[in-house]
């Protein structure tokens, strides 16, 4: 199998078998998010599975919003989800679909269940319903309203539809089996009274279907062949099948489950992600520290690297936690191949080269091994910025940077030797003085005294001041989802902002979302929203090396 071919998994095997045996003739999948938050890395896996399977088998994948809970949903989330799917590189079949488009059909099918004696209106309160439901070890008890007549149930349900009752006063339940060992089959709720304005239907509906009732019927309406869910819906599959079997639906979709993607140092609970936003631990759903797709995009993670990671993780039925370093490695490997190089000094220290009188233009390759990325011209002159960590007055032999009396090479330029430095009243070094060693542009010194290392630099004359945001992992714990209070395990050093960094002029001119390798520092992206040529803003995407593995060990 070539590296470009998708690896085999049980879902691909199942679909191929269904096609070979004529169980289905066309593969139709769907990605059905609820628009109550931004998508996260776990959703990226579901997107790659559903769209990828449709793509592999020449089928179609629908994007459908399961918008049955209007109080928690918004147009902002709908827009962001569409943007995320497009950015990951996928195109859905046809128009965007909504569960709310099927509300009338779902209502008519609910009346059908009532007419068949398979649904009833129940007046139990939520607390009473929990008591009647039983437990994992004890069967439930029949509701005292379970034996209402078909005529009474129909009349009550039509009144519910007309808005005659208060929120929470009644529900419509399926009549299945209160003694079933599967709690999902103990007369589940089909409709609740909820007089809330809906982002698509306004105030047209005072009742809303539950996800369990709506989902399978939406699949049937759309002709979905393989309804692929994560494992937490496995116990719901008998209910999914019960509705399909007992309603006059136009097709018979089947549900299959796979293990959701869980990564270390990550939370994917929308409730906890919302808490991080609401309590100000992050700057929004698309904060580059967030595991949302929008956050990963703003961090500079390439869509291709995320898709590769999801494919490498594989698709199985075994729940596990994937080390987030695997995602970071996929990002690092992709950017190493594709990101142009540039120089940025994060903590600037002025370097004066005393024997240089005039500036000159040097040509630097944009990538060490990809000529297609071209080259750029940078100005070299008597005054440069170097990083403060790259100079010491004296140091031991392990220090491979600039020391008084020692030599280093300036990246892509000449060898210099440090002679002296000036300090301010506080003892902090203000200026370093050095001499250029003649004839060392791309050559070793003629006197045989080689430089100890290589440091990066930016011209004082042409460099641009930039804001650089240094990001680290958002959580200090490998499994933050298990913390009693997720706020207690937020990493206080997850963001450090530098406002006096200096970058090459060409990098400042780059378009938003352009990623560079800032030589010797890491990979950085021009911020999607804040970056401007006259006020450049770069976010740290990822370091050149994994600095967490040693800590974890």
Structure tokens at 186: 């103990």
- What angle in degrees, to the nearest 10, is found between the helix axes of 41-56 and 10-20? 30
Please enumerate, as own/partner, the contacts of 245-249 that have beta carbons within 8 Å and a separation of 24 or more.
246/113, 246/116, 246/118, 247/109, 247/112, 247/113, 247/217, 247/220, 248/109, 248/112, 249/109, 249/217, 249/220, 249/221
Cα maximum dimension of the chain: 104
Which secondary structure element, helix H or strand E, spans residue 540, and what is its range?
Answer: strand 537-542
Catalytic residue of the set 30, 148, 175, 270: 270
Specify whether 532 is catalytic: no
Closest CA to 264 of 410, 478, 9, 429: 478
Structure tokens at 368: 């060490």
Specify whether 394 is catalytic: no
Catalytic residue of the set 72, 154, 260, 400: 260
Specify the DSSP class assigned to residue 175: -
Instruction: Locate the DSSP E strands across 3-138.
Output: 28-31, 60-65, 97-98, 119-122
DSSP-H helix ranges across 261-302: 270-278, 293-299
Residue entry with tokens 């089909």: 190
Question: Residue 191 pairs with which residues in a beta bridge?
Answer: 172, 209
Specify whether 73 is catalytic: no
Structure tokens at 91: 């195109």
Q: How many C-beta neighbours within 10 Å does residue 175 have?
A: 19
Structure tokens at 229: 């869910």
Q: How many residues appear in the chain?
A: 553
Contact 414, 444 (CB under 8 A): no
Residues with catalytic annotation? 34, 260, 270
């Amino acid at each position: 199998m070539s590296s470009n071919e998708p690896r085999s998994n049980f879902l691909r095997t199942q679909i191929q078998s269904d096609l070979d045996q004529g169980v289905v003739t066309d593969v139709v999948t769907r990605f059905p998010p609820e628009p109550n938050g931004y998508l996260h890395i776990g959703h990226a896996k579901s997107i790659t599975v559903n769209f990828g399977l449709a793509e592999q088998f020449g089928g179609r994948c629908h994007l459908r919003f399961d918008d049955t809970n209007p109080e928690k949903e918004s147009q902002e989330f709908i827009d962001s989800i569409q943007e995320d799917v497009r950015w990951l590189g996928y195109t859905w079949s046809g128009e965007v679909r909504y569960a709310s488009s099927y509300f009338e059909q779902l209502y008519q099918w609910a009346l059908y269940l009532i007419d068949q004696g398979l649904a009833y209106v129940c007046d139990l309160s939520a607390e009473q319903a929990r008591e009647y439901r039983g437990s994992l070890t004890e069967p439930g008890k029949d509701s005292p309203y379970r034996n209402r007549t078909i005529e009474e149930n129909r009349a009550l349900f039509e009144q519910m539809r007309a808005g005659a009752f208060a929120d929470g006063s009644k529900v419509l339940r399926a009549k299945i089996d209160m003694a079933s060992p599967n709690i999902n089959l103990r007369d589940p709720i089909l409709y609740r009274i909820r007089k809330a304005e809906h982002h698509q239907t306004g105030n047209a509906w005072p009742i809303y279907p539950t996800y369990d009732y709506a989902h399978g019927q939406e699949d049937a309406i759309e002709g979905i062949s393989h309804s692929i869910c994560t494992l937490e819906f496995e116990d719901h599959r008998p209910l999914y099948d019960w509705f399909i079997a007992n309603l006059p639906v136009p097709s018979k979709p089947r549900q299959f489950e796979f293990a959701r993607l869980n990564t270390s140092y990550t939370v994917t609970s929308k409730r906890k992600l919302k808490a991080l936003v609401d309590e100000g631990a992050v700057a929004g759903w698309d904060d580059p520290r967030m595991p949302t797709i929008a956050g990963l995009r703003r961090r500079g993670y390439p869509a291709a690297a995320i898709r590769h990671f999801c494919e490498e993780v594989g698709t199985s039925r075994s729940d596990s936690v994937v080390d987030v370093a695997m995602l970071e490695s996929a990002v690092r490997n992709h950017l190493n191949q594709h990101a142009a190089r540039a120089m940025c000094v994060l903590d600037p220290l002025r370097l004066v080269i005393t024997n240089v009188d005039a500036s000159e233009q040097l040509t630097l390759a944009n990538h060490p091994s990809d000529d297609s990325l071209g080259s750029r011209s940078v100005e070299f002159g008597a005054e440069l910025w170097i990083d403060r960590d790259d100079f010491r007055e004296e140091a031991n032999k392990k220090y491979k940077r600039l020391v008084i009396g020692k030599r280093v090479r300036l990246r892509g330029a000449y060898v210099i030797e440090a002679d002296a430095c000036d300090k301010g009243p506080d003892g902090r070094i203000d200026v370093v003085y050095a001499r250029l060693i003649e004839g060392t542009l791309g050559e070793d010194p003629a006197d045989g005294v080689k430089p100890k290392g290589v440091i990066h630099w930016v011209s004082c004359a042409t460099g641009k001041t930039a804001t650089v945001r240094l990001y680290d992992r958002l959580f200090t714990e490998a499994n933050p989802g298990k913390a009693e209070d997720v706020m207690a395990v937020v990493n206080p050093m997850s963001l450090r902002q530098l406002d006096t960094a200096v970058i090459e002029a060409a990098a400042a001119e780059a378009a938003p979302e352009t990623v560079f390798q800032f030589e010797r520092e890491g990979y950085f992206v021009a911020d999607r929203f804040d970056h401007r040529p006259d006020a450049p803003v770069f976010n740290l995407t990822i370091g050149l090396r994994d600095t967490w593995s040693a800590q974890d060990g």
